Chains A and B, each alone.
Chain A
């Protein structure tokens, strides 16, 4: 799979499509019990739903 960097290649992306940035494994939560309650071990995926806006 070609791995374009979004920043440098935005003009190469076809229009009208939705894109999901590729996740890279960097670190896990240090406190795994906390991760268990949050629902993910990846800090970058901790996206609590507030009902109004993105966090």
Chain B
């Protein structure tokens, strides 16, 4: 796996961790320990998405700030193999 695929894979994993922590927090809204875990992984995810978007292509529209070329439009499409 190349570093682009590896980073995308890791973003998928940390996103899953956040979904599962979110489900737990939905039923345990005062569990501060779980909230600390959520905050920790949320910060990591933001860093990873930002890193990916700067190195390769924006994953979300809010990461699509561009100068010379509209980067959002230049990103590979799912049927071009961008999803793995």
- Hey, which bits of chain A sit against chain B, CB under 8 A? 23, 25, 28, 32-33, 35-36, 40-42
Contact = CB atoms under 8 A, between A and B. Distances in A.
B17 A23 contact: no
Interface string B24-42: 1001100101100100000
Interface class of chain B by DSSP: helix
Interface of B: 12-14, 16-17, 20-21, 24, 27-28, 31, 33-34, 37
Given A41-B20, A41-B21, A42-B24, A28 B14 contact: no
Nearest to B34: A25
Contact of B13 (A23, A25, A32, A42): A32
Interface class of chain A by DSSP: loop
Contacts of A25: 24, 28, 31, 33-34, 37
A32 B9 CA distance: 12
B54 to A, nearest CB: 24
